[in-house]
Amino acid sequence: MSTAILPAPTAAAPAGVAQAGLDLGALFTQSEVPQFLAELERDLIGLEPVKRRIREIAAHLVVGRAREMVGLICGAPTLHMTFTGNPGTGKTTVALKMAGILHRLGYVRRGHLVSVTRDDLVGQYIGHTAPKTKDILKKAMGGVLFIDEAYYLYRPENERDYGQEAIEILLQVMENQRDDLVVILAGYQDRMDRFFESNPGFRSRIAHHIDFPDYADDELVRIAKAMAEGADYAFAPEAEAALADYVRRRRSQPNFANARSIRNAFDRMRLRQSLRLFETGGAVDRARLATIGAEDVRASRVFAGGIDAPAAPG
C-alpha cells in the first residue's frame, strides 16, 4: 500500500489551480480514503448511521483540502469526537479506521490509535497523575487517543480523586495541539451526557458526536457467521436456527454486550465442538472439524434459563 497523503494547506493557491479547478474524485482516490471506507463496510455489519457519519466527515475533510488548494478560506477543522453506545457495538474498530482516514487525509502525522481508560491516565497519589497523563499524550501525538468510558475520569463524590487533574491536562492539549492529536471519548450515552454537563470544556471542544446503535438480531447472527468463517468454521443449517434462537434469548439477559457477547459465545461453541469430537472419537475429515453443530449451540445455559456468563463454558 502506498502512503500518499493529500497536500498540506498552502497560503495561496496557484492561479492555474484556482481557475481550472480540481478533480475532486481524483483527490478523494489519491487519499486512499475510499479503501478505508470499503474496509469499514466490509468489516462492520450493520451500523449504517455510523458508516454514513464517517463518510460525511471524510467527504467534508476532502472538500476542505480542495477549498484550501484553490485559495478559499477553510479554517483548521475541529476533529475531536465522542462515540456513544452500548458495549460491543464497534466503537474501537471504527476509531482505528478513523485514525487511518485522518492520516491519509494529512490531518494526523502517524495515524496510530492509543486506547486507554481512566487507570492509564489517573494516578493514585499526589504528583502521579500529571506524568501519567502526559506520557499517554506523548504516545498518542500524531494520531488518535481513544478514551473508553471517559466519564470515569470525573468522580465528584471523591474529594481526593485526581481525575480532574487529568481532565485539565487533556483539555489544554485538545485545544492547543488539535493539529497533532485527535481525541475520541467513548461510553454510554446517558453517562457521557452527564459528564459533559459537569465538564463543559469537553463539549465545546468536540465537533462530532456519533451514536452507535445496538445490533439487530439478524445482524448478530451474521456477525457470528462472519466470525466462524474467519476462523475456518461454518454453522450447520440446524445450528444456524439454534444460533438465531440463542441470540434472541441472550439479548434479554444481563450484561449483554452485542458483538462482544457473540464472540464469547462463539468461542464457547468451538470448545463444545472440540469436546464433542474428542469424546465421539473415530475418523474425522475437514468438514467435521469445521462444522459447528446445533448441539454445540444448544448446550449453552441460555436454553436452560441460566445466565450465559463469559467466566465459564456454558
Tens-binned pLDDT, residue by residue, of the chain (314 aa): 445 555 555 444 455 555 556 788 887 888 778 888 888 888 889 999 999 999 999 888 888 888 888 888 777 788 999 999 999 999 999 999 999 889 988 888 998 999 999 999 998 888 899 999 999 999 999 999 999 999 999 887 776 788 999 999 999 999 999 889 999 999 999 999 999 998 888 888 999 999 999 999 999 999 999 999 999 999 999 999 999 999 999 999 989 999 999 999 999 999 999 999 999 988 899 999 999 999 999 999 999 876 565 543 33
> What is the residue-wise DSSP string for 109-137?
SS--EEEE-HHHH--SSTTTHHHHHHHHH
User: Which of 212, 238, 267 delimits the end of a domain?
Assistant: 212
Q: How many CB atoms lie within 10 A of CB 204?
A: 13
Rg (CA), the chain: 23
Domain shared by 104 and 238, yes or no: no
Domain shared by 144 and 47, yes or no: yes
Asked if 265 contacts 246 with a C-beta cutoff of 8 angstroms, the reply is yes
Domain shared by 230 and 200, yes or no: no
**Residue 89 grid coordinates:** 457495538
Domain shared by 85 and 125, yes or no: yes
Nearest 5°: the CA angle 179, 185, 189 is 145
CATH number of the domain encompassing residue 76: 3.40.50.300
d(CA 29, CA 6): 10
Q: Residue 311 has what pLDDT? A: 41
The residue whose grid cell reads 480514503 is: 33
Q: Domain for residue 310, yes or no?
A: no
Asked if 107 contacts 78 with a C-beta cutoff of 8 angstroms, the reply is no
Q: Residue 156 has what pLDDT? A: 76
Residues in the chain: 314
Domain shared by 188 and 147, yes or no: yes
Domain shared by 170 and 282, yes or no: no
Domain shared by 41 and 163, yes or no: yes
Whole-model pTM: value is 0.84
Q: Which residues contact 169 (CB under 8 A, 6 or more apart)?
A: 130, 133, 134, 137
- Residue 115's DSSP bridge partners are 146
> Burial level of 308, CB count in 10 A (0-12/13-18/19+)?
buried
Q: Residue 19 has what pLDDT? A: 52
Domain shared by 275 and 144, yes or no: no
Q: Residue 307 has what pLDDT? A: 59
Q: Residue 246 has what pLDDT? A: 97
Asked if 101 contacts 58 with a C-beta cutoff of 8 angstroms, the reply is yes
Q: Domain for residue 3, yes or no?
A: no
Domain shared by 199 and 236, yes or no: no
Torsions phi, psi for 218 (to 5 deg): -65, -30
The kind and range of the H/E element at 296 are helix 294-298
The residue whose grid cell reads 500500500 is: 1
d(CA 239, CA 252): 20
Domain shared by 206 and 252, yes or no: no
**Which domain covers residue 145, as residue numbers?**
15-212
Q: Domain for residue 72, yes or no?
A: yes
* Structural domains of the chain, count: 2
Domain shared by 166 and 226, yes or no: no
Q: Residue 2 has what pLDDT? A: 46
Q: Angle, nearest 10°, between helix axes 48-69 and 91-104?
A: 10
